[in-house]
Structure 1
Amino acid sequence: MTEGEETRRGVAGSVQSVERAVSVLEALARSGGAGVTEIADEIGVHKSTASRLIGVLESRGLVDQEKERGKYYLGAGILRLAGAAAIRLDISQESAPVCRRLAEATGETANVAVLDGDAAVNIMQARGPAEVAAYNWLGRRTPLHATASGKVLLAAMPTAVRESLLAREQERFTARTVTAPAALRATADEVAAEGFAITREELEAGLNAVAAPVRRYDGTVIGAIGVSGPVYRMGEERLSELAESCTSAAGELSRRLGFGS
């Protein structure tokens, strides 16, 4: 067997294991609780295979066992995953009117972004009445170090996670892109202290942006809301005004998500 064939076989086996693990979770969701034999019959595998799958899921907190009866059921880890999905859904639903008002008030393109691994992804957008609108950012993943929303999210990260990201080589998009870890670290501290972030032609030449953090009920930053537009409309003299508008919108959206209530 060649190395390529071994690799393909390994990938196929991994995919099959994932499919079976998901089938176990779906089976437990339908039944509310089941033993190893029942689960094996339900997903069509040998009892030993089902036992191994359950063991992995149990080690991650996705499955728990009733010690007295020996049955398995969905664990608290499922709630953690569901909670994360619910938070993203909440901010997407609640941000629409706030985003529209911000766009109308500033005349610029307003966006709401959330963290997606090592990038920011824009989940809501509203265009202002200005003649020349900015690029369509909806659904686009943008770098944390070169965008206003990204810098807000970077500033809110746990120190260890942020340091891990800053240890990587950062891509330079324009002559003004900040890539040095020390400079990005200082910027993150500044953003955390001031409550907003500004980028000046760091992602694209001629494009400026401002963003502020959105918080959930416990104060955790779960997103950023901001505006972006051409330099000739968003020059230095206007950036502080836009920072106030974004901070106000972020406060409104945070309250809608339960923060400070």
Structure 2
Amino acid sequence: MGTITKALDLLTLFARDRAEIGLGEFVRLTGRDKATIHRHLTELTENGYLEQHPDTRAYRLGPALLRLSALRETLFPVRKLLQPIVFELSETVGELAHASLLQGDALSPVAHSDPALHGIQVNFDIAEMLPLHATSSGIAALAFCPEEWQARILSRPLSRFTDRTISDPADLKAEIDMVRRYGVASVAGAFDEGVSSVGAPLFGEGGRVLGSLAVAVPSVRAKPEKLRDIALKLSKEAERASTALGGTVPRNFEDLPPHWGDETTTRQVIT
């Protein structure tokens, strides 16, 4: 990991429940030495990527990110294009929907919507990066990444988030093959206990995969027929989203089996 990457990596530590981080906590979270962390924080602050609380001296995200975010959305209006589609999808299926874009070897959420129709809901953190091997959105995107990208992911240890996270490269390869056949991925409790999800890839110019569109459902409501209904609607909306992004879906996928989502007929990530 290079110097610039190490500095920028500090920005990924901020979250909804961690809006400000002190020097000592940065050291604890990263395991790096205090002097190096302080140097990186100083440089990020001087360039506007961080700012310090006037009293506590803790660091928080700075104004430069607001400027760059606004410029990015003006030049390439991804959130403006995807948010209405995500909203309509969530209203149609009655569950949380979200769209994410590839960032390195993970997915970065850009839009989400939850109609909040049920007492039990999925807790979604817009600041949390989504691993490619443990989420339906990640596997959906990974399945259409270049082969060398897939090989890199498959050659590394696959982190376990729950006891249902896929950790065997052979199993992950089987999931990739299934997604390429049907165009959708399904996982159950592989990233968050008690959450099932269905994901479909998003494509840009030339059929290049950009990210994914997904729906997350509390497992208590994730019946096979519900997951299949979500998958059918999701596939259509993912194609619509790809078109809105100026992309093309590379090919037609096979029709889902009648009982898709039932673990006895279609294997999910972990059975």
TM beyond 0.5 = yes
Cα deviation for residue 217 of structure 1 reads 3.2
- Identify the residue that residue 102 of structure 1 maps to in structure 2: 89
Cα deviation for residue 195 of structure 1 reads 0.6
Q: Deviations over 1:135-157 (max 9, x none)?
A: 12312102111101100121111
* CA distance in structure 1 between the partners assigned to 2:89 and 2:108 by the alignment: 19
- Identify the residue that residue 135 of structure 2 maps to in structure 1: 147
* CA distance in structure 2 between the partners assigned to 1:87 and 1:184 by the alignment: 37
- Identify the residue that residue 114 of structure 2 maps to in structure 1: 127
Q: Which amino acid aligns with 1:142?
A: L
Task: Using structure 2 for the length normalisation, give the TM-score.
Answer: 0.62
- Identify the residue that residue 28 of structure 2 maps to in structure 1: none
* CA distance in structure 1 between the partners assigned to 2:155 and 2:205 by the alignment: 31
* CA distance in structure 1 between the partners assigned to 2:247 and 2:153 by the alignment: 28
* CA distance in structure 2 between the partners assigned to 1:87 and 1:161 by the alignment: 30
Identity across the alignment (%) = 28
2:185 is the counterpart of 1:172 = no
* CA distance in structure 2 between the partners assigned to 1:249 and 1:133 by the alignment: 22
Structure 1 unaligned residues grouped into runs of 5+: 20-84
**2:222 corresponds to which of 234, 238, 242:** 234
Structure 2 unaligned residues grouped into runs of 5+: 1-32, 48-71, 250-271
- Identify the residue that residue 157 of structure 1 maps to in structure 2: 145
Cα deviation for residue 86 of structure 1 reads 7.2
Q: How many residue pairs end up in the alignment?
A: 186
Q: Deviations over 1:110-139 (max 9, x none)?
A: 000111111111111101242232112312
122-131 or 105-114, which deviates more:
122-131
Cα deviation for residue 204 of structure 1 reads 1.6
SS at match of 1:145: coil
Q: Which amino acid aligns with 1:174?
A: T
8 Å Cα contact 2:203/2:248 also seen in 1: no
Q: Deviations over 1:221-245 (max 9, x none)?
A: 1111111010121222211111111
2:266 is the counterpart of 1:252 = no
2:169 is the counterpart of 1:211 = no
SS at match of 1:185: helix
Q: Deviations over 1:148-173 (max 9, x none)?
A: 11001211111112111111111112
* Bigger proportion of residues as helix: 1
Task: Using structure 1 for the length normalisation, give the TM-score.
Answer: 0.65
2:187 is the counterpart of 1:199 = yes
8 Å Cα contact 1:104/1:129 also seen in 2: no
* CA distance in structure 2 between the partners assigned to 1:248 and 1:212 by the alignment: 10
* CA distance in structure 1 between the partners assigned to 2:75 and 2:169 by the alignment: 29
Q: Which amino acid aligns with 2:177?
A: D
Q: How does 1:63-78 map to 2 (within 5 A)?
A: none
8 Å Cα contact 1:206/1:230 also seen in 2: yes
2:95 is the counterpart of 1:118 = no
Q: Which amino acid aligns with 2:127?
A: G
* CA distance in structure 2 between the partners assigned to 1:130 and 1:94 by the alignment: 25
Return closer, same or farther for 1:87/1:209 CA change in 2, 3 Å cut-off.
farther
Return closer, same or farther for 1:88/1:237 CA change in 2, 3 Å cut-off.
farther
When Rg is computed on C-alpha atoms for both structures, the one with the higher figure is 1
Cα deviation for residue 256 of structure 1 reads 1.2
* CA distance in structure 1 between the partners assigned to 2:217 and 2:240 by the alignment: 22
* CA distance in structure 2 between the partners assigned to 1:222 and 1:87 by the alignment: 18
SS at match of 2:130: strand
2:241 is the counterpart of 1:243 = no
* CA distance in structure 2 between the partners assigned to 1:220 and 1:206 by the alignment: 32
Cα deviation for residue 260 of structure 1 reads 4.8
Q: Deviations over 1:7-59 (max 9, x none)?
A: 96xx88xx7xxx9xxxxxxxxxxxxxxxxxxxxxxxxxxxxxxxxxxxxxxxx
* CA distance in structure 1 between the partners assigned to 2:97 and 2:128 by the alignment: 14
